[in-house]
Structure formats: C-alpha cells, structure tokens
Structure 1
Amino acid sequence: MNTKLLMIVALLFFLSWRRAADSFLLFCALFAAGLFVCVLIYRLENTTTIIDEEAD
C-alpha cells in the first residue's frame, strides 16, 4: 500500500469526523492511521539490501 495515500485518507477521515462528529468516521480515521503506521514500520524493516557474495 502507498503510505502517502494512507496518510491522506486518515487526514480526510479525521477532518470529516471533526465536522460531522460521527463515531464511525473517528473509527475509520484511527483505523487508517494505524494501518499507515503498520505499513510504514513494515517498509522500514524490509528494505532490500544487495549482498555481494563474491566479495569474500
């Protein structure tokens, strides 16, 4: 998933929750923010590194 898109979606849900004061929108905002954090941590931990096996 794209982390920038998740951050934008979380921000939009949060702003719509502030305007409408609906608990479902708050749930969606918190869920999207949590998913953003999980995807960010996953991408930081799983960076691909190239190991040169012939450089012994």
Structure 2
Amino acid sequence: MISGYCAIPGGKFSSATPAQIANQLLDTARIDTLATYHPRTHGRGEARLSRALAPDWIS
C-alpha cells in the first residue's frame, strides 16, 4: 500500500528523490485522527495524500 502512496506524489513531484517523497509522506502524516495514538503502534501516523500533495514543491 505504501508503494502505491509513494507513486502518487512521485507523479506530481517528478524531480523529487525517493527519500524526499518518503519524508513528505511521513512529515504530513496525521496523528490527531487516531484516538489512541502511540508511536510504537501507529508509527508516524496516518498517511494523508491530500496533505502530501498540497505544496507546489517539496524539499
């Protein structure tokens, strides 16, 4: 599932490296949507493509 999630921002940000795309997904993950969020259980949170695709470019 994550490789599919990476393909979508990879299409928009075609000059981004795989690491940049992964970081964009991790940095825009949400934890406020998980009632009992704990990093050991949920990692960095719930991936949100809309947030990952929101900027015009990623660094």
TM-score > 0.5, shorter chain as reference: no
Please state which structure has a larger fraction of its residues in helix.
Answer: 1
- Which has the greater radius of gyration? 1
> What TM-score do you get using the length of structure 1 for normalisation?
0.31
Q: TM-score, normalised by structure 2?
A: 0.30
